[in-house]
Amino acid sequence: MDRNEVMERLSGVFRDVFGDSSITVTDSTTSDDIEDWDSIEHINLIGAVEDEFGMRFKMREVSGMKNVGEMADIVCQRGTR
HSE-CB at 67 with a 13 A cutoff on CA atoms is 9
Cα 81 → chain centroid = 15
What DSSP designation does 2 have?
Answer: -
pLDDT reported for residue 78: 83
Number of domains making up the chain: 1
> Each residue of 9-60: pLDDT tens digit?
999 999 999 999 999 999 999 999 999 999 999 999 999 999 999 999 999 9
pLDDT > 70? residue 61: yes
Q: Is 11 among the domain residues? A: yes
Q: For residue 73, what are the domain limits?
A: 3-19+37-78
Report the pLDDT value the prediction gives residue 81, as an integer from 0 to 100: 62
In a domain, 28, yes or no: no
Residue 31 lies in a domain: no
- Judge whether 66 lies within some domain: yes
Global pTM reads: 0.92
With 90 as the cut, is the pLDDT of residue 80 above it?
Answer: no
Instruction: Look up the CATH number of the domain holding residue 68.
Output: 1.10.1200
